[in-house]
């Protein structure tokens, strides 16, 4: 009986801690450290690995589709898309897992509202898994972005690209 | 409408300088505050840059809340003065802010509009809460405008009643 109870206790402990361990295993993003080497699922079914962005400065942006500053931010970036493209700057716009628990429009509809500039290789659109979302957006903020340098190192963290365009522009230009 | 127009005329005739200062400067400052606060959620920051994202509807709401609130306060101050408190005291201003019932004061709609439009930015609330505020921010603002209009109407009615019961000095009731 004792061994049965012990087995049950061990089993319950293993079940209750397994998902947390799996999520905790995902590398958390931090300024000054390399960006997690994730592979992102893009709209349309393609995949994008963080490693393939080496050699380019890029914006790694986690967002929720219902977030007003995200939609505004995407349009603000689109207004400067030509300049960013000339600078070789990339943008990776990713919907947080489950849209952070609140319903919103589809990511595809937002991308379509931006137009032709919102396309690879300058602008990638995709969705995050739970583990990726937790690693890139541990606070579950609906609008958070990172500026990643050519070596894959995170140089800055901020939110709302429309309000922080000057910071993005300076980084994209190498300043 | 006549009720409000009469109240405004009475207020500016009785206290031309202080009413003009309150509505002109106070109303402009409050309208400017809301002109930044209302689009702050879309812009992503409570900053001057938010003005670039101000929609015509938000501009109208900012003006209505800003000037409507200060006008209601001015009318209430004048009504209170008619009841014997001539000085523009802190207590008088407070009484003007709380004219008759808590639900229609000018404080609550102002707070609601600010909360609805910029709570996500200011408070950094996340997930479901922020989604809720984002989805219903227009409703918060619309309610705020309606509540300010209600506050104006209450203030005008209060002003009319103050006139009706005021008795000239020296006369017998």
Per-residue pLDDT tens over the stretch B32-85: 999 998 898 889 888 999 999 999 999 999 999 999 989 988 888 887 765 544
pLDDT at A139: 86
Whether residues A69 and B130 touch (CB distance < 8 A) is answered with no
Res B86 pLDDT > 50:
no
Is the Cβ–Cβ distance between A154 and A32 less than 8 Å? yes
User: What contacts B16, CB < 8 A, 6 or more positions away?
Assistant: none
Return the domain boundaries, chain B.
Answer: 2-162
Average pLDDT, chain B: 76
* Residue A3 covered by a domain: no
Share of chain B above pLDDT 90, in %: 20
pLDDT at B104: 45
Does B42 contact A at CB distance below 8 Å? yes
Interface test with B, best of A70, A95, A160, A161 (most B CBs within 10 A): A160
The pTM (predicted TM-score) of the whole model is: 0.76
Whether residues A160 and B124 touch (CB distance < 8 A) is answered with no
- Residue B163: pLDDT band (50, 70, 90) is low
Q: Which of A69, A100, A161 sits opposite B41 (nearest CB)?
A: A69
Res A51 pLDDT > 70:
yes
pLDDT, mean of residues A126-137? 95
pLDDT at A22: 43
User: Domain total for chain A?
Assistant: 1
Q: Which of A66, A140, A161 sits opposite B135 (nearest CB)?
A: A66
pLDDT, mean of residues A15-24? 44
Is the Cβ–Cβ distance between A142 and A64 less than 8 Å? yes
Beta-sheet pairing, A143-148 with A154-158: antiparallel
Q: Write out chain B residues lying below 8 Å of A163, CB-based.
A: 43-45, 47, 49-50
CB pairs under 8 A between A and B: 67
Res B93 pLDDT > 70:
no
Is the Cβ–Cβ distance between A125 and A86 less than 8 Å? no
Res B140 pLDDT > 70:
yes
For A139, the domain range is 28-172
Beta-sheet pairing, A90-95 with A123-127: parallel
DSSP string, A24-77: HTSPPP-TTSBPP--EEEETTS-EEEGGGGTTS-EEEEEE-TT-HHHHHHHHHH
CATH code, domain with A114: 3.40.30.10
Q: Which of A71, A142, A164 sits opposite B130 (nearest CB)?
A: A142
pLDDT at A145: 96
User: What contacts A49, CB < 8 A, 6 or more positions away?
Assistant: A37, A38, A39, A40
Say how far apart CA A91 and CA A28 lie, in whole Å. 20
SS (H, E, C) chain B: CHHHHHHHHHHHHHCHHHHHHHHHHHHHHHHHHHHHHHHHHHHCCCCHHHHHHCCHHHHHHHHHHHHHHHHHHHHHHHHHHHCCCCCCCHHHHHHHHCCCCHHHCCHHHHHHHHHHHHHHHHHCCCHHHHHHHHHHHHHHHHHHHHHHHHHHHHHHHHHHHHHHHCCCCCCCC
Say how far apart CA B61 and CA B66 lie, in whole Å. 8
Rounded to whole angstroms, what are the CA distances from B115 to B28, B98, B111? 20, 20, 6
pLDDT at A16: 45
Whether residues A161 and B134 touch (CB distance < 8 A) is answered with no
Is the Cβ–Cβ distance between A35 and A146 less than 8 Å? yes
Average pLDDT, chain A: 87
Give the A-side interface with B, CB within 8 Å: 64, 66-69, 71-73, 100-104, 139-143, 159-164
* Residue A9 covered by a domain: no
Nearest chain B residue (CA) to A70: B42
pLDDT, mean of residues B102-122? 58
Interaxial angle between packed helices B27-43 and B107-123, expressed in degrees from 0 to 180 and rounded to the nearest 10: 30
Whether residues A101 and B135 touch (CB distance < 8 A) is answered with no
Q: Write out chain B residues lying below 8 Å of A141, CB-based.
A: 124, 126
- Residue B158: pLDDT band (50, 70, 90) is confident
Choice between A175 and A127, residue whose per-residue pLDDT is larger: A127
Rounded to whole angstroms, what are the CA distances from B94 to A64, B3, B77, B143, B159? 42, 23, 9, 23, 16
- Residue A2: pLDDT band (50, 70, 90) is low
* Residue A20 covered by a domain: no
* Residue A124 covered by a domain: yes
* Residue A123 covered by a domain: yes
Q: Which of A66, A73, A164 sits opposite B131 (nearest CB)?
A: A66
pLDDT at B134: 80
Interface of B with A in 115-144 (CB under 8 A): 120-121, 124, 126-128, 130-132, 134-135, 137
Say how far apart CA B33 and CA A69 lie, in whole Å. 19
Say how far apart CA B100 and CA B139 lie, in whole Å. 24
* Residue A5 covered by a domain: no
Q: Write out chain B residues lying below 8 Å of A164, CB-based.
A: 44-45
């Amino acid at each position: 009986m004792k061994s049965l109870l012990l087995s049950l206790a061990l089993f319950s402990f293993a079940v209750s801690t397994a998902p947390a361990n799996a999520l905790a295993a995902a590398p958390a993003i931090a300024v000054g450290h390399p960006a997690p080497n994730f592979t992102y699922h893009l709209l349309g079914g393609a995949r994008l690995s963080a490693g393939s962005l080496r050699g380019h400065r890029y914006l790694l942006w986690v967002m929720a589709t219902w977030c007003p500053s995200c939609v505004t931010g995407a349009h603000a970036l689109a207004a400067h898309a030509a300049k960013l493209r000339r600078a070789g700057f990339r943008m990776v716009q990713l919907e947080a897992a489950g849209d952070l628990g609140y319903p919103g429009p589809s990511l595809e509809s937002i991308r379509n509202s931006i137009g032709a500039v919102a396309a690879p290789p300058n602008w990638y659109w995709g969705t995050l898994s739970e583990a990726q979302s937790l690693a890139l957006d541990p606070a579950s903020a609906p609008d958070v972005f990172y500026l990643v340098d050519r070596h894959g190192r995170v140089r800055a963290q901020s939110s709302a690209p429309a309000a922080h365009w000057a910071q993005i522009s300076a980084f994209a230009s190498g300043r | 409408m006549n009720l409000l127009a009469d109240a405004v005329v009475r207020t500016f005739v009785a206290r031309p300088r202080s009413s003009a200062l309150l509505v002109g400067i106070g109303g402009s400052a409050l309208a400017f505050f809301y002109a930044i606060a209302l689009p702050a959620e879309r812009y992503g920051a409570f900053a001057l840059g938010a003005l670039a994202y101000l929609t015509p509807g938000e501009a109208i709401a900012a003006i209505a809340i800003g000037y409507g609130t200060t006008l209601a306060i001015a009318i209430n101050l004048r009504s209170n003065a008619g009841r014997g408190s001539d000085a523009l005291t802190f207590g008088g201003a407070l009484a003007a802010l709380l004219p008759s019932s808590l639900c229609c004061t000018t404080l609550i709609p102002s707070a609601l509009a600010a909360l609805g439009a910029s709570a996500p930015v200011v408070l950094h609330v996340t997930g479901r809460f922020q989604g809720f505020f984002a989805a219903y921010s227009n409703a918060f603002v619309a309610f705020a405008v309606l509540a300010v209009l209600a506050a104006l109407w209450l203030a005008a009615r209060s002003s009319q009643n103050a006139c009706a019961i005021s008795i000239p000095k020296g006369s017998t009731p």
